[in-house]
Amino acid sequence: MDAIVKQPSGEVDLIQVSEPACLEDEVKIEVKACGVCSTDLHIVAGSYPWEKGVTLGHEYSGQVVEIGPKVTKFQVGDKVAACMDGGFARYAVKREDGWLFKLPEQIEFEEAALLEPLAAAANSVFNRSSIKPGDIVLIEGPGTMGIFVLQCVKLMGATVIMSGTSRDEHRLKLAKSLGADYVVDVQKENLQAVIADITSEVGVDLVFECTGAQVALSAGLMALKTTGQLTQVGIFGKEALIDLGRLVYHSQKIVGSIAYDKETWERCIKLLAQKKVDTKKLISNKMPLKDWKQAFEITREQRGMRVLLIP
């Protein structure tokens, strides 16, 4: 079968590999859709550790086609979502007790392929922030993570200010359609002035920094009220500069958030099944596996939201 694999040379390519065998405690999945994310780009560039010989693709959904004799939680025909590796191929195998989740019938394969980034965003809101109803929240960066953070924040009853750049025009429009109360193009408007006006110069209660950019981190801390919290969701590729004096004098807090736990995954599956969150609107392209280089390029150039590869 075809699979996108990091080869012994370190290069990533679409190659022919053997169809994976299903061991006694494993589940074999026919992959229906797998999302392309920035981590995949880092693997291709060699800036993210990835074991050679392992198939890429960590945001995927599919259907169970075989189970090992010791498997008790899954049956052939089950709809599932999975993560960590193996999604950029026709078939993948996962341990029954691994990152594998049964889906209710009403969830479609394509929308389920975005459960992984949704879970990461949900973790930052539900588990790693101090959010409460009535809070005023700034979300910096209307990419996939920012849009999912937005949806989770709105579920908590908060007011949302979403900021981006002129390049994010279509993404800011999407944010508005999904519940953002205010959207700000920081290249056309003064973000701090907008926030001062909305908050009567108090500052926002919470910031979710979803870009991993120094300018956004600095702006987020400036926008934060005394005793406010900034949750860092975007990943920095280098050291960040922080005004610790301001942090101390204003009794502010910075909290990091990465990934998720299984309980958060299950919560997100319920939210998706109940139509309380929308992942479909973030799917901008669907392409066959053979067009993976084009899909990666679209992602690199930010010419859409999420690209799905269909094996």
pLDDT at 173 over 90: yes
Least confident of 3-7, 108-112, 120-124: 3-7
Among residues 298, 265, 285, 275, the alpha carbon closest in space to that of 117 is found at: 265
**pLDDT tens column, 22-60:** 999 999 999 999 999 988 888 888 777 778 888 999 999
Residue 152 CB neighbour total at 10 angstroms: 24
Classify domain 118-256 by CATH number.
Answer: 3.40.50.720
How many C-beta atoms lie closer than 10 Å to residue 275's C-beta? 9
**b/e per residue 37-71 (b: at least 16 CB within 10 A):** bbebbebbeeeeebeeeebbbbbbbbbbebbbeeb
Residue 174 has pLDDT above 80, yes or no: yes
Span 275-304, mean pLDDT? 96
Q: Report residue 170's pLDDT band, with 50, 70 and 90 as the boundaries.
A: very high
φ and ψ of 111, to 5 deg: -70, -30
- Confidence (pTM): 0.95
The average pLDDT across 85-95 equals 97
Look up residue 168 and give its two tokens: 């994010």
The strand pairing partners of 30, in sequence order, are 63, 91
Specify the 3-state DSSP secondary structure of 62.
strand
Same CATH topology for 2-114+279-310 and 118-256: the answer is no
Strands 182-185 and 159-164, sheet pairing:
parallel
If you average pLDDT over residues 155-172, what whole number do you get?
98
pLDDT tens for each residue of 282-295? 999 999 999 999 99
Q: Identify the architecture of domain 2-114+279-310 in CATH.
A: Alpha-Beta Complex (3.90)
Q: What is the pLDDT of residues 186-219, one digit of tens each?
A: 999 999 999 999 999 999 999 999 999 999 999 9
Beta-sheet strand order (sheet of 136-140): 182-185, 159-164, 136-140, 204-209, 224-232, 253-256
What is the pLDDT at residue 10? 79
pLDDT of residue 271 exceeding 80: yes
Task: Compute the mean pLDDT over every residue in the chain, rounded to the nearest whole number.
Answer: 96
User: If you count them, how many residues does the chain have?
Assistant: 311
**Average of per-residue pLDDT across 118-136:** 98
| Segments making up each domain of the chain, as ranges | 2-114+279-310, 118-256
Residue 96: pLDDT band (50, 70, 90) is very high
Write the pLDDT tens digit of every residue in 68-87: 999 999 999 999 999 989 99
Question: In the predicted model, is pLDDT for residue 17 greater than 90?
Answer: yes
Residue 266 has pLDDT above 80, yes or no: yes
pLDDT-derived band at 167 (thresholds 50, 70, 90) equals: very high
Confidence check: pLDDT of 98 > 80: yes
